[in-house]
Structure formats: C-alpha cells, structure tokens
Chain A
C-alpha cells in the first residue's frame, strides 16, 4: 500500500521569506510524486512532479521540490513567499509500475503567508 505524510497541518511564513512544506511517502518500487495546490472553493491545481531524472524539479509560480530517495521525502520549497501563495497544499504519490494509477494524497498543509 502507498501512503503520504504531511506532518504539518499549518505552516506560517512571512512574505519574502523562504518556505518549505514537508512531505514523506511510502510506495513499492520507484515513486511518481506530485504537488497540488487548492484555493478556497476550487479544485486542485497541479504544481510540479517528479518522475525521473534530476532530484530538484521546478514548477509553476516559482515553486520547486527536491526528491530525496534515501529519506523518502519530496519537500516543496519556494525562495521568497508571496501573500498570494496562501492556500492548501497536497503532496501525492503513485507507483511507477503496477496497475494502480490513482494518486494517494497526504492530508494537506495550510500555508499562510503573512504580509
């Protein structure tokens, strides 16, 4: 079975400061990893993914994430936070092999960027 842990329900950061939203995963074999963002009363928007290759992946709105196989982590980062980044962030995983294609999501982290 695959699982995702987002240990922080809430992350607060001052505007202009770097932000990190943590994610660890468990999956059989190699993972495909994703970050999504959800604004109030909206669906999930895709931010970035790790499939293979470079461990540091870059995505939308200046976000990036680092895949660390030994620590089974995929933390989301941004060098300088904006107030408009305030939203609910979800990490998700699926196995790269096998018949299951659905995503398993973490419980979400509410990011608040303070002006």
Chain B
C-alpha cells in the first residue's frame, strides 16, 4: 500500500512570501502529525490532528504557522510571511493511533527561504 506522501519535495521561496505544504496520509490512519527537522533544533513537533477532535497546536512556533486537515485525510501546513529561520525539512506522519501507535513518516518537504 501507499505510504505517506508530501508535496512539494522541495520549495524555495523569498522571505516574506507565504507557502503551503501538503501531506497525504496513509489511508485509514486517523492521526496526522507535522514535525520540523533542522540542523540546529533537531526534530520538533508542530501540530497533531486526531479524527474530528480539535488539533493539538502546542508545537507551532508562531502565529505565522497554521494547519488544517480536510475531511479527516489530506493536511496542509501554511507558513505566512516566511522568515529565513523557517528553512527546514517539514515532515508529516500518520498513525492508526489505536493499537499501532507507531508513526509512519513521509519523505518531507525541504523548505528554503532566501
């Protein structure tokens, strides 16, 4: 079966522009996570969606970051007014949550802000 997919794989944007990153989780997985991986900060949790519950946004670094999950499936992470410190690899993961617990990761989107 298909794994977690993310698009685009690479994104270069100018400082101040908005970007949207997409994640398509494994079919049937009810939980979806966004993480950020950067050299200085390692792997950081950003946001978590579980079914129809309100998302856990506790990891979002600023109000420039937002995410939504439509229809319990595809998710979009939006970064407004990008800054150079936003440059990182953004990873999406999904899990069954009940029973499985392990999270399956997509290949990531490498964001470069110039």
CA distance A42 to B91 in the complex (A): 10
Residues of A within 8 A of B101 (CB): 32, 49, 51, 94
**Chain-B contact segment, one of A16-24, A63-71, A76-84, A95-103:** A95-103
Residues of B within 8 A of A43 (CB): 4, 91, 105-108
A99 touches which of B56, B59, B93 (Cβ 8 Å): B56
Q: Is A104 an interface residue (CB 8 A)?
A: yes
Q: Is B43 an interface residue (CB 8 A)?
A: yes
Residues of B within 8 A of A46 (CB): 102-105
Main secondary structure, interface of B, reads strand
A108 touches which of B42, B91, B104, B106 (Cβ 8 Å): B42
Interface residues on B, range: 20 to 34
What total of chain A residues lie within 8 Å of the partner, measured CB to CB? 22
Q: Is A25 an interface residue (CB 8 A)?
A: no
Q: Is the CB of B102 within 8 A of A34?
A: yes
- Number of residue pairs A-B, CB distance < 8 angstroms: 50
B31 touches which of A36, A90, A101 (Cβ 8 Å): A101
CA distance A49 to B33 in the complex (A): 18
Q: Is B97 an interface residue (CB 8 A)?
A: yes
Q: Is the CB of A102 within 8 A of B105?
A: no
Closest CB in chain A relative to B98 CB, distance in Å = 11
Q: Is A110 an interface residue (CB 8 A)?
A: no
Q: Is B50 an interface residue (CB 8 A)?
A: yes
A-B contact pairs, 7 of them (CB 8 A): A34-B102, A44-B91, A46-B102, A46-B103, A100-B58, A101-B50, A102-B45
Instruction: Give the B-binding residues of A (Cβ under 8 A).
Output: 32, 34, 36, 42-46, 49, 51, 90, 94, 99-108
Q: Besides A44-B93, A44-B105, 4 other CB < 8 A contacts?
A: A44-B91, A103-B35, A103-B45, A103-B103
